[in-house]
């Protein structure tokens, strides 16, 4: 007879067989049997957070920087509801998470028991799939399937809800079955014919552009390599979404910078005027497309994505290649090389005019800003941070708002998995716990959360976690005393009625840092910035850096609401002639 | 319409909507209907009618038939999003006016009144595979199977003949001939 294990033991056996090293969690009544079992499994380390949302974001940071699924363990009721924001965030940004939640015993389900909530009901719209395990015999199979669903295809969060009596019940354990297909949901649907069609289009294009996204990162580091090879083979310009940054080197000449609402002038104009648009692992998000009817009006559109439901969801495309980015790009590169088509050479003539046009747009220098000797400009702060850390292998997380866009614009990434930001859901408070998770995955690396003072206060309690586990994360706060992005929209759209966007009664961040037992640094003048940043980087331990920046600075360039890509507002000097409500003079 | 003073773009699309019948084969497990229906409500798709029951007890498969309206893009999204659900095995889609597919709905009518009225009601229903399920001096319960619009019409017309209660199913569908969905 096979050995019998308790549900709690089976959970750990599953985690071990799935090569889990870290769990981010918070104990409570309905998961106590699992927590009791923790002591018997030395290969699995539990990271105690201070709020379940922090556990979720930390697991996201861990997953996005390591490529492995993040594991979260929470109790029933409030434990589960607190993690909902993080699950939704992971769902929007396609991050693989496995969340295990405790539930009240099966006989109490539906009776409004203490700390009971309908966890699978609440999390159904924000997970790829979820399970309530009502029979101990289903437990090991379910947990293994949970890992499979989270990590295959387009990744995403899943949740397994385990009632307390199931954690105590005993049964035999079954190992993961790697052969099992998920209802035959295979991933690659593209054919060689599709690739040949694509190459024909590439051959005939005079104004091509590659628009790559987070799918390249999710496809693994090899996908970034084949993307670089493709860009090199073709000589095409490439732009990236917020989530795709790092897949292609940010300082390369063929890279036009980020596109979209706060993307560069050259990237957005190239998207608008191109005759061939190759979308690689991006999803035509509304922050990217601007006005749909005028989005890239003259181009043939190609979409490469692993999720068939992404195709034609927002933008109708002419050719779709459904599959794992890595496999599709490998196929394209192989065919290019086999046919011995060196587009870079043969197309050079054809697309040289295109590059000239791009250079003209580039010369606008759209990320420019008026620097100051008096106050620290937030863009300048990010640029200095980049210059002073670029020789290290740095991992950057962010919160959400102006600082996030400035980080995306001015910090250059050369490797995938180095940039963790909440793009889809736009979760303020993401960056600090995400940095915790990143540092857990990469204990020796420099991990910086480029933060805003409003966002970071939403999950500030996780500094305690950082101190407990000696995680030397650096919280670099661009402190402008405003919810800056809210203020910017109020300035542009609501006649400067700054309704509730001023951060009244901010804490003294130095004292706050000291209260948590970490180091606080403040920089108020541009001339002390470099020295303070160096001090932060060199300090062996967590740091809260209060960088006092110009409170009135706005994030430019930007595509105003309801406008197409070729009608961007550039910096303050151009702003006057392009009022958002006015007829907006085209900037082409 | 979204206020033009908004961080979101204004919707300008005006495509024509069509009625489709979506058939979904799912694992018959707890919560599966909520997943399918939740997908529709969460993404703003509309459900005109719904019919669901287990069709294969051995393999534990239920068949869900959903009547919905939407633009071609929305109908495509409905199918693609449904296929992403873990318990979903396959999805089929038919236009309501597709001649190669049979659509049927069933309705129960309770008629209360004198014999002459009941007789008239029964006559009116005769062409819809009428079955009389219950009969008293003052009332009849009758069953018809027909298309949605025919049942709509009958439940309107029978009002004056003493129709007091209507219970009806959603549409179910099956292809004609020897063809099956794969």
ipTM value for the complex: 0.89
Arithmetic mean of pLDDT, A271-292: 94
Mean pLDDT estimate for chain A: 94
At A111, the pLDDT band (50, 70, 90 cuts) reads: very high
pLDDT at B4 over 70: no
Cβ neighbours of B87 in A, within 8 Å: 183
Minimum distance, in Å, between the CA of residue A445 and any CA atom of chain B: 37
pLDDT at A3 over 60: yes
pLDDT at A182 over 70: no
Listed by start position, the domains of chain B span 18-95, 101-174
Arithmetic mean of pLDDT, A530-540: 98
pLDDT at A185 over 80: no
Cβ neighbours of B12 in A, within 8 Å: 292-293
pLDDT at A416 over 50: yes
Contacts of A445 (CB under 8 A, 6+ apart): A392, A393, A394, A395, A438, A439
pLDDT at A392 over 70: yes
Arithmetic mean of pLDDT, A143-157: 96
Does B8 sit within 8 Å of A311, measured CB to CB? Answer: no
Query: A125 and chain B: CB distance < 8 Å anywhere?
Result: yes
For the entire predicted model, the pTM comes to: 0.94
**Domains along the sequence of chain A with CATH:** 5-171 (3.40.50.970), 192-362 (3.40.50.1220), 378-548 (3.40.50.970)
A468/A338: higher pLDDT: A468
Arithmetic mean of pLDDT, A532-549: 98
| DSSP assignment string, A196-218 | HHHHHHHHH-SSEEEEE-HHHHH
Mean pLDDT estimate for chain B: 92
- What digits encode the pLDDT tens for the residues B152-161? 999 999 999 9
Cross-strand pairs, A276:
A208, A300
At A578, the pLDDT band (50, 70, 90 cuts) reads: very low
Does B7 sit within 8 Å of A581, measured CB to CB? Answer: no
User: Which residues of A are catalytically annotated?
Assistant: 52, 114-115, 164, 485
Interface A–B counts its CB contacts (< 8 A) at 64
* In contact, A429 and A459? CB cutoff 8 Å: yes
pLDDT at A148 over 90: yes
Arithmetic mean of pLDDT, A193-205: 94
Does A124 sit within 8 Å of B38, measured CB to CB? Answer: yes
- What digits encode the pLDDT tens for the residues A304-320? 999 999 999 999 999 99
CATH class of this structure's domain B101-174: alpha beta
Query: A489 and chain B: CB distance < 8 Å anywhere?
Result: yes
pLDDT at A587 over 60: no
Arithmetic mean of pLDDT, A513-531: 98
Minimum distance, in Å, between the CA of residue A494 and any CA atom of chain B: 8
What whole-number distance in Å separates Cα of residue A510 and Cα of residue A261? 34
Does A309 sit within 8 Å of B77, measured CB to CB? Answer: yes
At A583, the pLDDT band (50, 70, 90 cuts) reads: very low
A289/A381: higher pLDDT: A381
User: Judging by beta carbons within 10 Å of its beta carbon (0-12, 13-18, 19+), is residue A39 exposed, middle or buried?
Assistant: exposed
Can you read off the two tokens belonging to residue A432?
């600090």
Q: Which of A146, A155, A183 to mutate to test the interface with B (most CBs of B within 10 A)?
A: A183
* In contact, A74 and A26? CB cutoff 8 Å: yes
Q: How far is CA B69 from CA A26, A68, B24, B65, B78, in A?
A: 45, 41, 16, 13, 10
Could you tell me the CATH superfamily of domain B18-95? ACT domain (3.30.70.260)
Minimum distance, in Å, between the CA of residue A128 and any CA atom of chain B: 8
What whole-number distance in Å separates Cα of residue B10 and Cα of residue A497? 23
Contacts of A50 (CB under 8 A, 6+ apart): A26, A461, A462, A464, A465
Contacts of A236 (CB under 8 A, 6+ apart): A202, A208, A209, A210, A254, A278, A343, A351
pLDDT at A571: 79
End-to-end C-alpha distance for chain A, whole angstroms: 77
Among A125, A149, A291, select the one facing B9 at the smallest CB separation. Answer: A291
* In contact, A128 and A160? CB cutoff 8 Å: no
Minimum distance, in Å, between the CA of residue B73 and any CA atom of chain A: 7
CA A7, A12, A16, A22 dihedral sign is: positive
Arithmetic mean of pLDDT, B104-118: 95
> Within a 10 A sphere around the Cβ of A349, how many other Cβ atoms?
9
Does B34 sit within 8 Å of A124, measured CB to CB? Answer: yes
* In contact, B175 and B101? CB cutoff 8 Å: yes
Arithmetic mean of pLDDT, A491-516: 94
Residue of A nearest to B10 (CA): A562
Query: A579 and chain B: CB distance < 8 Å anywhere?
Result: no
Percent of chain B exceeding pLDDT 70 equals 95
Bin A551: left if φ > 0, else alpha if -120 < ψ < 50, else beta. Answer: alpha
At A291, the pLDDT band (50, 70, 90 cuts) reads: confident
CA A33, A35, A36, A42 dihedral sign is: positive
pLDDT at B180: 82
Q: How far is CA A77 from CA A32, A39, A118, A119, A167, in A?
A: 14, 25, 8, 7, 17
pLDDT at B62 over 50: yes
Cα-trace Rg, chain A:
25
Do B18-95 and B101-174 share a fold?
yes
Query: A132 and chain B: CB distance < 8 Å anywhere?
Result: yes
pLDDT at A584 over 60: no
At A290, the pLDDT band (50, 70, 90 cuts) reads: confident
pLDDT at B12: 66
Arithmetic mean of pLDDT, A110-117: 97
What whole-number distance in Å separates Cα of residue A542 and Cα of residue A409? 25
Cross-strand pairs, A278:
A210, A302
pLDDT at A563: 86
pLDDT at B13: 65
Q: Which of B2, B4, B6, B9 to mutate to test the interface with A (most CBs of A within 10 A)?
A: B9
What are the CB-based long-range contacts (under 8 Å, 24+) for A150-155? Answer: A150/A69, A150/A96, A150/A97, A150/A98, A151/A69, A151/A96, A152/A182, A152/A187, A153/A185, A153/A187, A153/A306, A153/A307, A154/A94, A154/A215, A154/A218, A154/A306, A154/A307, A154/A310, A155/A69, A155/A94, A155/A95, A155/A96, A155/A218
Query: A561 and chain B: CB distance < 8 Å anywhere?
Result: yes
User: Judging by beta carbons within 10 Å of its beta carbon (0-12, 13-18, 19+), is residue A575 exposed, middle or buried?
Assistant: middle
pLDDT at B91 over 60: yes
Does B13 sit within 8 Å of A312, measured CB to CB? Answer: no
Cross-strand pairs, B167:
B108
pLDDT at A153 over 90: yes
Q: How far is CA A366 from CA A318, A567, A574, B41, B133, in A?
A: 31, 13, 11, 42, 77
- What digits encode the pLDDT tens for the residues A220-234? 999 999 999 999 999
> Within a 10 A sphere around the Cβ of A518, how many other Cβ atoms?
22
Residue of A nearest to B25 (CA): A183
Percent of chain A exceeding pLDDT 90 equals 88
Cβ neighbours of A291 in B, within 8 Å: 9
Q: How do beta strands A208-212 and A129-132 pair?
A: unpaired
């Amino acid at each position: 007879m096979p050995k019998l294990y308790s549900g709690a033991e089976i959970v750990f056996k599953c985690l071990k067989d799935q090569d889990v090293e870290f769990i981010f969690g918070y104990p409570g009544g309905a998961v106590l049997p699992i927590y009791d079992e923790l002591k018997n499994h030395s290969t699995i380390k539990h990271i105690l957070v201070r709020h379940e949302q922090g556990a979720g974001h930390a697991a996201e940071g861990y997953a996005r920087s390591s490529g492995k699924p993040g594991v979260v363990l929470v109790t029933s009721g409030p434990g589960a509801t607190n993690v909902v924001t993080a699950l939704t965030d992971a769902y929007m940004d396609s991050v693989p998470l496995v969340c295990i939640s405790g539930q009240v015993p099966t006989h109490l389900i539906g009776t409004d028991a203490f700390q009971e909530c309908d966890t699978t009901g609440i999390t159904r719209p924000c997970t790829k799939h979820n399970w309530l395990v009502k029979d101990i015999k289903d437990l090991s199979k379910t947990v293994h399937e949970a890992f499979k669903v989270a990590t295959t295809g387009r990744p995403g969060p899943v949740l397994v809800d385990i009632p307390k009596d199931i954690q105590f019940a005993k049964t035999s354990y079954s190992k993961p079955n790697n052969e099992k297909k998920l209802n035959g949901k295979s991933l690659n649907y593209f054919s060689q014919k599709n690739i040949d069609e694509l190459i024909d289009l590439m051959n005939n294009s005079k104004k091509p552009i590659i628009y790559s996204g987070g799918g390249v990162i999710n496809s693994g580091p090899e996908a970034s390599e084949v993307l670089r090879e493709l860009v090199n083979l073709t000589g095409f310009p490439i732009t990236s979404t917020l989530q795709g940054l790092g897949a292609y080197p940010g300082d390369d000449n063929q890279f036009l910078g980020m596109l979209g609402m706060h993307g560069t002038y050259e990237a957005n104009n190239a998207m608008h005027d191109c005759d061939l648009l190759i979308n690689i692992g991006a999803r035509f998000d509304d922050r990217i497309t601007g006005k749909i009817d005028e989005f890239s009006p003259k181009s043939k559109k190609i979409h490469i994505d692993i999720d068939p439901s992404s195709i034609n969801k927002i933008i109708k495309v002419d050719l779709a290649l459904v599959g794992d980015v890595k496999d599709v790009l490998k196929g394209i590169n192989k065919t290019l090389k086999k046919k011995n088509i060196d587009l870079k050479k043969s197309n050079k003539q054809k697309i040289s005019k295109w590059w000239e046009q791009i250079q003209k747009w580039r010369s606008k220098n759209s990320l420019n800003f008026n620097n100051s000797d008096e106050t620290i400009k937030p863009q300048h702060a990010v640029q200095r941070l980049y210059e002073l850390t670029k020789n290290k292998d740095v991992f950057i997380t962010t919160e959400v708002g102006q600082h996030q866009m400035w980080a995306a614009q001015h910090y250059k990434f050369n490797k995938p998995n180095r940039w963790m930001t909440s793009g889809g859901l736009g979760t303020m408070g993401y960056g600090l716990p995400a940095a915790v998770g990143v540092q857990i995955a990469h204990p020796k690396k420099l991990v910086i959360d480029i933060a805003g003072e409003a966002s970071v206060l939403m999950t500030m309690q996780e500094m305690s976690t950082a101190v407990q586990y000696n995680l030397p994360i650096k919280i670099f706060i661009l402190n402008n005393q405003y919810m800056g992005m809210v203020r910017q929209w109020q300035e542009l759209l609501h006649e400067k009625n700054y309704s509730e966007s001023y951060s009244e009664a901010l804490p003294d961040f130095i004292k706050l840092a000291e209260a948590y037992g970490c180091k606080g640094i403040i920089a108020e003048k541009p001339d002390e910035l470099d020295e303070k940043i160096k001090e932060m980087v060199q300090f062996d331990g967590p740091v809260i850096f209060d960088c006092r920046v110009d409170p009135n600075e706005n994030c430019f360039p930007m595509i105003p609401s309801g406008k197409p890509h070729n009608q961007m507002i550039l910096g303050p000097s151009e702003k006057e002639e392009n009022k958002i409500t006015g007829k907006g003079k085209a900037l082409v | 319409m979204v206020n033009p003073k908004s961080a979101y773009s204004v919707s300008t699309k005006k495509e024509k909507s069509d009625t489709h019948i979506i058939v979904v084969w799912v694992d018959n497990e707890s919560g599966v209907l909520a997943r399918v229906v939740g997908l529709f409500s969460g993404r703003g798709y509309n459900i005109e009618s719904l019919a669901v029951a287990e069709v294969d007890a051995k393999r534990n498969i239920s068949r869900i038939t959903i009547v919905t309206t939407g633009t071609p893009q929305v109908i495509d999204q409905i199918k693609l999003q449904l296929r992403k659900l873990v318990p979903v095995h396959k999805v089929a889609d038919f236009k309501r006016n597709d001649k190669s597919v049979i659509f049927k709905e069933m309705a129960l009518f309770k008629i209360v009144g004198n014999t002459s009225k009941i007789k008239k009601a029964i006559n009116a229903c005769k062409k819809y595979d009428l079955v009389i399920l219950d009969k008293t001096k003052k009332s009849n319960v009758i069953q018809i199977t027909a298309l949605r619009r025919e049942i709509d019409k009958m439940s309107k017309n029978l009002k004056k003949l003493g129709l007091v209660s209507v219970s009806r199913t959603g549409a179910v569908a099956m292809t004609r001939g020897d063809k099956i969905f794969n």
